[in-house]
Structures are given as C-alpha cells and as structure tokens.
Amino acid sequence: MIGGLDSYDQGELIINNKSTKEYSRYEWDTYRNTYIGFVFQEFNNINRLTVSENIELALKLQKINKREIKKRVKHILELVELQEYHD
C-alpha cells in the first residue's frame, strides 16, 4: 500500500500530512520516484544496457544531473559489491 502500487478501500494512508485517497496518478508517480525504491522479483533490467546504464536510467527519470548520477552509480555499485561492473 505505502508504495502506491496497490489500491485500498478501507482506512486512510497519510503521506507528508496529506491523505492519499485523492492522489492522482501523477502524484503517486512523483511520490514513488522521490521517496520509494522497489526491488522486484523480476528485475526488468534492459538487457542491451550495462549494469551502470540500468542504474543511470532510474536516476535520469528523477531528473538528477549527470555529475550526481555518476557519483550515485559508483556508490550504489560499491554498496552491493559490484564495483567491477562500473563502466
């Protein structure tokens, strides 16, 4: 529920002091892109992209600048001990 991928018909979910009952699709998308990260069972990576490029794509969708993206990709790969896949 808190990720906004499933709907609810009882109760109330308050995010940033606002009820999500009337959230538009855009508001849910903005919320997820800003505050939530998902790890799905099916990774849905783009096969023709490298590991770094797949991570970069998610960050580009958040409109993060190129310099910050490079920094974050390096950090993320180090966190999961996959730095050898940094291109």
pLDDT, tens digit, 9 for 90 and up, residues 6-62: 777 888 888 888 888 888 888 888 888 788 776 666 667 788 989 999 899 988 988
Which of these, 33, 50, 57, lies nearest to 84 by C-alpha position?
Answer: 50
Specify the number of domains making up the chain: 2
The pLDDT of residue 78 is 93
Whether the Cβ atoms of residue 80 and residue 72 lie closer than 8 Å to each other: no
Pair (57, 78) in one structural domain: yes
Residue 46 lies in a domain: no
Residue 44 lies in a domain: no
The residue ranking higher by pLDDT, 8 or 76, is 76
Domain hosting 61: range is 51-85
Mean pLDDT (whole number) for 70-84:
92
The residue ranking higher by pLDDT, 30 or 70, is 70
Mean pLDDT (whole number) for 61-76:
92
User: Is pTM, for the whole model, over 0.85?
Assistant: no
